[in-house]
């Protein structure tokens, strides 16, 4: 009987040793990893997909009737000077042309 008791005791010790090693497997650190690495962040939320508005055949078209904004005075003078230079005017004529041109636009 003592041999049977030894086999039973050794079997119980072996089973206890196997059971106690399972938590250590859950803490496995992969090669190149560190136990000090922070956990991965949560994935971003999925994008919200909206159905585009389908134009109706019976609805009148909507158009933007606002005129474009007026260019600044500096932009108008620069454009007028470039036009005068392209026309071949001299410096004095460019001055008079750009003054008249910028104020009339």
The C-alpha atoms of residue 105 and residue 59 are separated, in whole angstroms, by 37
Render pLDDT for 64-92 as a digit per residue (tens, 0 to 9). Answer: 788 889 899 999 999 999 999 999 999 99
Which helix (H) or strand (E) is 84 found in, with range?
Answer: helix 73-86
**Residue 28 binned pLDDT confidence (cut-offs 50, 70, 90):** low
- The average confidence (pLDDT) of the chain is 83
């Amino acid at each position: 009987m003592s041999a049977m008791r030894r086999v039973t005791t050794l079997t119980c010790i072996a089973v206890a040793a196997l059971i106690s090693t399972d938590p250590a497997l859950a803490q496995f650190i992969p090669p190149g990893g560190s136990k000090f690495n922070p956990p991965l962040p949560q994935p971003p939320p999925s994008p919200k997909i909206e159905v585009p508005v389908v134009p109706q055949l019976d609805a009148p078209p909507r158009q933007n009737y606002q005129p474009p904004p007026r260019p600044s005075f500096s932009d108008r003078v620069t454009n007028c000077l470039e036009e005068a230079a392209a026309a071949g005017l001299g410096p004095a004529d460019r001055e008079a042309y750009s003054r008249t041109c910028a104020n009339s636009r």
